[in-house]
Chain A
Amino acid sequence: MMNTFVVYVENKPGVLTRVASLFRRRAFNIDSLTVGRTEKAEVSRMTITVDADHDQARRIEANLYKLVNVILVENITREPAIVRDLAMIKVSATHGARSHVLELASVFRARVVDVAPESLTMEITGDEDKIDGLLEVLRPYGILEMVRTGIVAMRRGSKPTSVARAIGSVSAQIADDDVQQSV
């Protein structure tokens, strides 16, 4: 099954390579990996999705923790979470098809961000299924170009996976608990 990990790492050169290399070395295939800044300059946050069974997921978590630059790992697969992917889709929209394409965009709540005589470019945010759904109905019109960011995820509700918790002494304790639970 697809597992979603939220990984806080030190914002240092080479950390992305260390994480990516770990998955390669341990023979797991990354489905999606995104990385970006957080509210703390010295911490970056990754969202990694990977196909793994229960035991494999625990080993991935434990191995991530072995990387010295990894601060906190959370497997939020079974948690209620908001999962978002962003896509930009350039679709052929000739005179006759244009209104149909615009209609589909509005049904999926995609925003048109660029218009050219023979094409439209739209931006859509949502979970992966929603984007896949839009792609499916646009395909007959001719998709000229497409790019997706990969997913970012955040736990629902008030329980924070905040960076403040993820660094400093409090976090170490929390992380220890997580490691023990995973054993």
Chain B
Amino acid sequence: MALATSGPGATNMVTGIATAMLDSSPIVCITGQVGSKVIGSDAFQETDITGITLPITKHNYLVTHADELARTLREAFYVARSGRPGPVLVDITKDAQQSSCEFHWEAAKPQLPGYRPDLSPAETEYEQALDLIHNAKRPVILLGHGAIVSGAMNEARELAERAGIPVALTLLGIGALPASHPLNLGMMGMHGEAWVNHTIQEADLLIALGMRFDDRVTGNLKNYAPGAKKIHVEIDPAEINKNVKVDVALVGDLREVLRVMLPKIESIDRSEWMHFIDQLRGDSAVRDIQNLPDTGHLYAAHVINDLWRETRDGNVIVVTDVGQHQMWEAQYYKHEHARSLITSGGLGTMGFALPAAIGAKVARPEAEVWVVVGDGGFQMTMAELATIVQEKLKINIAIINNGFLGMVRQWQEFFYDRNYQATPLLNPDFGRIADAYGMRNITVTERSQVIPSVEGAREHDGAVLIDFKVEQEDTVYPMVAAGSALHEMIRRPSPIVETAEDE
């Protein structure tokens, strides 16, 4: 729920709304509008915000009379939260805000004759899906954000356990199955671990649960999981056969669909398949970057791994921005609970972390909130430090500071002959910025200082900013280059190390 004034206030919400649209986040935005009599006259601070946000909202409204307001707001919250959630914007003219009307809760009931969020699959589709699952020798579950939105974490876990099927997660699916679960392979896709992507490519059945086969997850579609049949359980019919053609589609709420299926799932021994996957993992399975020698360099992966070790027993929400640090977080912070990672997936909105962390802390004040953010993204919204201080929010900020827009730099290194165009950053002294807000801060340049700095931040009452000055030209491995097949990864220099320096 967000409020903004007309014109620039409304347009400033656009990136946030688009972020919510791509990640199916239920939000209701209310914007002010000029008086209904002057709409269309280019009045002061007039902007056609319903027109601007039309393609990036699930639905939007322009309210010009006070008596439309109650029903519209009820509809807005209903539409935002039901079915596949998404952003709804309600634009309210000044005269509608300032006049008054009789209010009747019942009369303001939503009237949406065309809106049907509650679809469910046909009996035959269930049978086809069960048939495929029972006949598969090498199945994989692809678990996405829909599992969390639908609250189907337990059902998905039960399906995996009962049928003995390994689970790969999307970025936004992280936490839907505990990282420590033996069937959890980890994150798939562009920066997924090699064994996860190989498992998908070798599978004979993909069971996609609440995910949408985003291009960051599939790699080149032409040779994506070529030997696999595909089952797609998805609440949004428009996602079916959009990117990947599937054999069976079950359109409906994931939790309800799984609840129907679970009693009919037979337990099948798939130890051969699991053994194959273990071999794919090989040495990587026991890889623990904690044991790697300290070479005097500070690597982002070590910072995040240490942060995880220190905070793993807490009630922690990690909020990340977008870029290299986001991928390292996804790889090295082992999330055990749903909604313990908040990140911008589909839109990849830099500058997301700090404001999103404020939202997370306000919504769940009892949680320990950590912002993991790059030096580039941090500067896009660091004005929100004022909000943190003003509202006395206990938020810990870990800047993974490599002096570059790191992910873009990485692409420039690999594909553009190290032509570092517009990626090196002339950063301010983040510590002094924190000082200016009266916020405690520390700068970390060595690996041995990581854990003490995290401990110190946790013990301090107020917000803390830690500036981790990490290796500048470090690379996120593995990487599926754009246009490559999912198994054609640029691998780590050695499977058991994080960087070339570790060898």
Contact = CB atoms under 8 A, between A and B. Distances in A.
Interface of A: 8-10, 13-14, 17-18, 21, 25, 55, 58-59, 62-63, 65-72, 167-168, 171-172, 175-176, 179-180, 182-183
A149 B314 CA distance: 66
Contact of B240 (A14, A62, A72): A62
18 contacts: A8-B114, A10-B113, A14-B62, A17-B54, A21-B54, A62-B236, A67-B114, A68-B59, A68-B79, A68-B112, A68-B114, A68-B115, A71-B114, A167-B113, A172-B113, A172-B116, A179-B237, A180-B119
Contacts of A58: 240-241
Interface string B18-53: 000000000000000000000000000000001100
Given A18-B54, A66-B238, A183-B251, A10 B119 contact: no
B113 A65 contact: no
Contacts of A68: 58-59, 79, 112, 114-115
Interface residues of B, number: 26
Contact of A70 (B51, B62, B114, B122): B114
B365 interface: no
Contacts of A72: 114
B55 A25 contact: yes
Given A17-B54, A180-B122, A10 B242 contact: no
Given A14-B50, A69-B114, 12 more contacts: A10-B113, A17-B51, A25-B55, A62-B236, A68-B112, A167-B113, A176-B116, A180-B119, A180-B122, A182-B237, A183-B125, A183-B240
Contacts of B8: none
Given A63-B238, A176-B116, A21 B251 contact: no
Nearest to A18: B54
A171 B116 CA distance: 11
B114 A59 contact: no
A58 B246 CA distance: 14
B145 to A, nearest CB: 18
Contacts of A176: 116, 119
A83 B21 CA distance: 38
